[in-house]
Amino acid sequence: MYGDGLFETIAVRDGRPCLWSEHMARLQAGARRLAIPCPPRARLYGECVAVAAGCQHGVVKLVLTRGAGGRGYAPPQSPEPTRILVAYSWPVHPPEWADGGVEAILCRTALGEQPRLAGIKHLNRLEQVLARAEWEDPQIAEGILCDGRGRVIGGTMSNLFLVAGGRLLTPRIDRCGVAGTVRTLVLARAETFGLEPIEADLRLEDLAQAEGAFFTNALIGAWPLRALGPLRFDLARLPSALITGIRRLAHHPTPEELA
């Protein structure tokens, strides 16, 4: 009733989850932050595989809540968490978005700052719902969100990266935003592709001056940004080898022995 919990949206290949370590690291970090007991990773992996049985190419959503309680906001002293796992079909997007890039808009909805919740994927997503309601054009793939100070934070469902002068910039998410699993991959591997990864306070002028930009999340892998309103970006300036490698890693199933 109060959005008191966490969730992970997990790509599935050949009946097994992808980016399992990254998803579990974020879930466990969020559970510690909210003081919700987190089930063992091995149990969650087994449940995820059971839900995804027979699924060659799909999605599992894992929800962990604090559990049942009485009326009011006071959490139970000894919570008994509830977990919900649901399998979905793979989302269908225009195939040209992967290589030809996507078009985005700048959302009017601003993200509120709350450092205690920043980075974790909690169940309170009303800001994203309001932002996503700002467009209906099927050619618009994503909306970019700023916080109340005008700092760029990311997309409604994704993280954002900018390429500028041999550096790979991504918004700092210490006051709001989500630490995406693919974002973690990109930051860890950028230097092997000759790019210096930097988390920074970014503004719209940084985006306007960037050589290129792309979105990431666990399902899309990486989408190049082609246009943001009147702004146009040169896809040839993007680190294509990095993007290709990230897509491959993001959709590689995790075997049980590595779970």
**Residue labelled with tokens 């995406």:** 180
CATH number of the domain encompassing residue 234:
3.20.10.10
Pull the structure tokens for residue 4: 């008191």
pLDDT number for residue 70: 80
Is residue 222 situated within a structural domain? Answer: yes
pLDDT number for residue 23: 98
The angle subtended at Cα 155 by Cα 214 and Cα 114, nearest 5°, is: 130
For residues 66 and 116, state if they share a domain: no
pLDDT number for residue 55: 93
- pLDDT tens for residues 130-166? 999 999 999 999 999 999 999 999 999 999 999 999 8
Which of 28, 57, 92 is where one domain is finished?
92
Burial of 139 (0-12, 13-18, 19+ CB in 10 A): exposed
For residues 63 and 174, state if they share a domain: no
For residues 87 and 102, state if they share a domain: no
Q: Whole-angstrom distance between the N-terminal and C-terminal Cα of the chain?
A: 31
Q: Give the integer Cα–Cα distance in Å for 15 and 79.
A: 31
Burial of 1 (0-12, 13-18, 19+ CB in 10 A): exposed
For residues 59 and 119, state if they share a domain: no
pLDDT number for residue 52: 96
For residues 211 and 104, state if they share a domain: yes
Residue 215, beta-bridge partner list = 160, 223
Q: Report whether 234 contacts 244 (CB < 8 A).
A: no
Q: Give the integer Cα–Cα distance in Å for 89 and 59.
A: 6
State which amino acid sits at residue 23. H
The 8-class DSSP code of residue 112 comes to P
pLDDT number for residue 69: 82
For residues 144 and 239, state if they share a domain: yes
Residues 6+ apart with CB under 8 A from 186: 161, 168, 170, 197, 216, 222, 242, 246
Pull the structure tokens for residue 146: 């700023």
For residues 130 and 36, state if they share a domain: no
CATH number of the domain encompassing residue 31:
3.30.470.10
For residues 184 and 100, state if they share a domain: yes
For residues 151 and 139, state if they share a domain: yes
233-240 long-range Cβ contacts below 8 angstroms, 24+ apart: 233/101, 235/100, 235/101, 237/163, 237/211, 237/212, 238/163, 238/212, 238/214, 239/163, 239/168, 239/190, 239/193, 239/194, 239/195
Candidates 132, 128, 172, 181; CA nearest to 153 is 172
What's the pTM value of the predicted model, to 2 decimals?
A: 0.96
For residues 21 and 88, state if they share a domain: yes
For residues 202 and 112, state if they share a domain: yes
Is residue 238 situated within a structural domain? Answer: yes
Q: Residue 49 is part of which domain span?
A: 5-92
Q: Give the integer Cα–Cα distance in Å for 131 and 125.
A: 10
pLDDT number for residue 258: 72
Query: What are the residue ranges in the chain where pLDDT is below 50?
Result: none
- pLDDT tens for residues 31-47? 999 999 999 999 999 99
SS3 at position 142: strand
Which of 92, 123, 157 is where one domain is finished?
92
Q: Report whether 173 contacts 118 (CB < 8 A).
A: yes
What is the number of structural domains in the chain?
Answer: 2
For residues 214 and 176, state if they share a domain: yes
Which of 72, 92, 112 is where one domain is finished?
92
pLDDT number for residue 138: 96
